[in-house]
Amino acid sequence: MQTKLKMNWSLSCVAVVALCTLLNIQPAKADEGMWLTMFLQRLNMTDMKKMGLKLSAEELYSINKSSLKDAIGGLTPAGNFQNHFCTSEVISQKGLLLTNHHCAYDAIQSHSTVKNNILRDGFWAKSTSEELPCKDINVSFLVRMEDVTARVLAAVKDAKDEGERAKLAAAEIAKITAEATKGTHYNAYVKDFYKGNDYYLFVVESFKDVRLVGNPAEAIGKFGGDTDNWMWPRHTGDFSFFRVYMGKDGKPAEYSPDNVPYVPKHSLPISLKGVKPNDFTMVMGYPGRTDRYRAAAGIQLDMEETNPARIKLRTKRLALMKEGMDKSDAVRIKYASKYASLSNYWKYFIGQNQGLKRLKTLDYKRNLEAQFQAWADKGNNAAYKTVLADLNKGYADLKEVNLFNTYRGECIFGAEIVQQAQQLYMVRQMLAKPEGAAMKGQVLGGIKESLTDYFKDYNAGIDRKTLAAMLAYYYKDVPKAQHPDIFAKISNEFDNDFNAYAEYVFDNSFLASKGSFLEFLDAYSDETLTKDPAYMLAESFARKTDEIRPKIVAANAAIDKGMRTYLAGLKEMNPKTTAYPDANSTLRLTYGKVIAYKGKDAVNYDYKTNIEGLMEKEDPANEEFIVPTKLSEVYKNKDFGMYAENGTVPVAFITDNDITGGNSGSPVINGNGELVGTAFDGNWEAMTGDLVFDKALKRCINVDIRYTLFIVEKVGGATNLIQEMKIVR
């Protein structure tokens, strides 16, 4: 029987600090926490004012007036208005957006060719007519948020299990979003907080016409490459520009040459005054995911099994990509974005595991749980007494299928041909149903349209080697009981020679080339599909997944329910305190200060870097540390213009703002509401940040806005962009 929890974690009830009493630590400081903008007046303004904020709460978040939130755009995939992959900020009254170079990387790569390689050489539109459409990107601005906890919890109070709870919640959320958007052009979504103890509605205005305006050469935008990634000190010009367009009626519209630049409710002025130690800073954006309340058993599973598997598999996939990219400029362009994306979190998982061990996070979590259990045993709530045992059981069950789940995603679907085959497997299941069969032409037509972009960035040679390597890893590492039946075929017909099997698949599958794929779609045949070797591979894994999925679902349901109960118990144990919510791709504000740190014994880092440090790193023989000729010339001539400080140009600086993935591109704003930088990374010593906050070491790495504008004007020559910004000196 499901225990009914009466606890409501509504942020409006109490002031937010960390789990102080329970955790035996100091209350959460200003630099820790990703705060919902709706509650800043009640929860944070006193601290923020003391630290240097000059604005009112209404200037930060308002429904009826222009406020800071109106300048913050969440970047999403086309057609998606709630899952933000990066953040951007409006910096002119003509809809000019600033974000990171790595956030625009896909868009830049998609417009690059061997003859016009704007990824390598950079791109600057000198007029709006030269701006490049980015059909795969939308940008959303928050209109308002609302607490809908009571409605959702009332709808699920009689649910018999987690599955029914999810269905009832989804039904109520559908009603809430429909009511919120009725008669408007807005979109809306509801997100849960504290593992389903709270729910909030977000109403957004989502724009579909986004265009690339400018980006520095890759040697600037990605200076330092994988070597410097997640590291400080940094000298990376990680910035790019988009522009938002709207219809002539002022509303979002599909791309059209007739659309006009977006006129924002608010745009950020830009300060050239720079930063100094202890200056107040805010970062507003869309942090993706944190899991800081995860149980010890979950941390242990990540440390001992999941992360090592990800690191191992990605190391091989990256090596195979690099091998192909080094042989051809065309392949290098095709795989630039895929490689960067895969590499980013490959290094992250390495750093996270090292940090978890260094901080003794597992011991820390176990100690917290022991304190909770001691408190729960003294009370009358049976659910609290058993919740940790329930969580441990859920993770024990998950561990039995964890390698299968991890390898299926990282390994098998690491081969792109299998991803395509899996898509056709799902299409075949859909077409077998009457309602699906009626949509056959539309579905197959959509696949056909996608193939141009897919094969534009595809290399069968790399994919074949990847398939062979990943199948070999799966065969060796995953328990034999979790092997799909395709491995019997590989054993019987290919003597477990995975290279030979991969050759067979690519030689005989219509999925390996655009021409044969299109021919199949034009004359779709179930018989042809089921005989295709790539499809047979995907179908075999799909059948095994169907067999194992119930156990994965059951384990995750137990964990979800357990965490919801555990967090409610923590709140009840400490009624005068609560915890800030984990990040979940909703708009948050973090605040802190400019501050240096000590990385390790005898290693003390300054709070900023300058252009001299970039030149010191220059290495023409290393593609990660090449300095473009134009930048070298400007540096030699000391042509720094209005962006100089003490005879140099600042490049980057660090703050103790609390950020994570999704905050990339977020504005760093001073106490006057002026833009001073753009957040783009975290530091190596604090790679545990998604699981536990380390106050001493956690740092947010930011491009100094003066370096951004210096590159725009002095290297890119795009003075037209400078002229449309409001610059404060």
The catalytic residue among 92, 240, 664, 666 is: 664
Nearest Cα residue to 7 out of 261, 196, 252? 196
Q: Is 11 left (phi over 0), alpha (psi -120 to 50) or beta?
A: alpha
User: Is 62 designated active site?
Assistant: no
Interaxial angle between packed helices 329-358 and 361-377, expressed in degrees from 0 to 180 and rounded to the nearest 10: 50
User: Alpha-carbon distance 328 to 6, whole Å?
Assistant: 62
Nearest Cα residue to 642 out of 699, 719, 539, 580? 719
Element (H, E) at 270: strand 270-271
Query: Which amino acid appears at position 621 of this protein?
Result: A
Interaxial angle between packed helices 460-477 and 307-325, expressed in degrees from 0 to 180 and rounded to the nearest 10: 160
Query: Which amino acid appears at position 347 of this protein?
Result: K
User: Is 664 designated active site?
Assistant: yes
- Residue 292's Cβ-count burial label (10 Å; 0-12, 13-18, 19+) is buried
Nearest Cα residue to 238 out of 219, 222, 227? 222
Cβ neighbours of residue 146 closer than 8 Å, sequence gap 6 or more: 180, 200, 201, 203
Task: Dump the DSSP string for 214-227.
Answer: EE--HHHHTTTHHH
**H helix intervals, 222-306:** 225-228, 296-301
**H helix intervals, 359-456:** 361-377, 382-410, 416-431, 434-437, 440-456
Nearest Cα residue to 544 out of 487, 500, 503, 504? 487
The catalytic residue among 106, 228, 238, 279 is: 238
**H helix intervals, 88-136:** 105-110, 118-121
> What phi and psi values does residue 444 have, to the nearest 5 degrees?
-65, -35
- Residue 657's Cβ-count burial label (10 Å; 0-12, 13-18, 19+) is buried
User: Alpha-carbon distance 513 to 194, whole Å?
Assistant: 46
- Measured at the alpha carbon of residue 265, what is the angle toward residues 261 and 270, in degrees to the nearest 5? 85
User: Is 112 designated active site?
Assistant: no
The catalytic residue among 62, 84, 92, 102 is: 102
User: Alpha-carbon distance 486 to 462, whole Å?
Assistant: 22
Nearest Cα residue to 408 out of 485, 337, 488, 474? 474
User: Alpha-carbon distance 96 to 667, whole Å?
Assistant: 14
Q: Are 81 and 189 in contact (CB under 8 A)?
A: yes
Q: How far is CA 480 from CA 249, 404, 477, 544, 545, in A?
A: 61, 10, 9, 12, 14
Say how many CA atoms lie within 13 Å of 327 toward its Cβ.
Answer: 9
Written as six digits, the tokens of 263 are 């006129």
Q: Are 186 and 204 in contact (CB under 8 A)?
A: yes
Strand runs labelled E in 280-323: 280-285
Dihedral angle over CA of 719, 722, 724, 729, nearest 10:
-140
Q: Which residues pair with 132 in a beta bridge?
A: 212
DSSP letter at 10 equals -
Annotated catalytic residues are 102, 238, 664
